[in-house]
Amino acid sequence: MEKMPYQDTLDTSTTMKNHVHAPVVTSDWRQGLPTLGAGQVVLRELRSSDAASLFALLTTEEVSRFISPPPRSVEGFERFIAWTLCQRADGAYACFAVTLLGFDTAIGIFQVRQLDARFETAEWGFALGSAFWGTGLFKTCAELVLDFTFDTLGVHRLEARAAILNGRGNGALLKLGAVQEAILRKSFRKNGVHLDQALYAIIADERRASRGREQHDLRFPAIVH
């Protein structure tokens, strides 16, 4: 999700003042995101107090190189966090803070937003502090978010876009089972330059089949002579 649905120029204080939440009628996640955990990873809903750590970790050149410009201040991240809560209450968007077991500091985010009215098609994106790259945390987080997206949100098709030059991002999506479907020519503008992006998708049925094979392989390990 290199083109963030949130814009830092949004006057969230005014938006929230006039915002009326849609009634909750279909899913408890609209009232508050569940806490997800596996191994050393804990994913939870964002809080205003996460703004400082997210500003420090997600605004570095390494992390922000291939994403839309993140908020430019701690206050900007506070407005972003308030916006995510409004969007979640409306059933249009979910954003998890990445934390580590025993440490409540937010070190990254995972986002899922609807692309149609029924949330059957969605787009996801993620950003993780560079100090945690290559540790295995990303895959654990991604698997948790994928399970939530398909099982709780009921998404049928999950899309992602990654700049062709973003080798790490493209590789991560492929390892998660995403299929590259197209090249979107000059579709992403960064620092005044238009970049090509790859469009990826994960389909719910394919995801479930893949998970089923993994569980079968764990249950019946190959015999090595």
The domain of 23 spans: 12-219
Let me know if residue 7 belongs to a domain.
no
Residue ranges in 91-147 assigned as alpha helix (H): 137-147
Q: What does the DSSP 8-state code read for residue 39?
A: T
Confirm whether 168 is domain-assigned. yes
In a domain, 2, yes or no: no
Q: How far apart are the C-alpha atoms of 76 and 215, rounded to whole Å?
A: 43
Domain presence at residue 62: yes
Instruction: Write the pLDDT tens digit of every residue in 135-182.
Output: 999 999 999 999 999 999 999 999 999 999 999 999 999 999 999 999
Domain contains 149:
yes
Distance from C-alpha of 191 to C-alpha of 68, rounded to nearest angstrom: 10
Residue 1 lies in a domain: no
Question: Using the 8-state DSSP alphabet, how is residue 4 labeled?
Answer: -
pTM of the model: 0.84
Q: Is residue 4 part of a domain?
A: no
Asked, for residue 47, whether it belongs to a domain, the answer is yes
CATH number at residue 111: 3.40.630.30
**Dist. CA 205–CA 46, nearest whole Å:** 30
DSSP 65: T
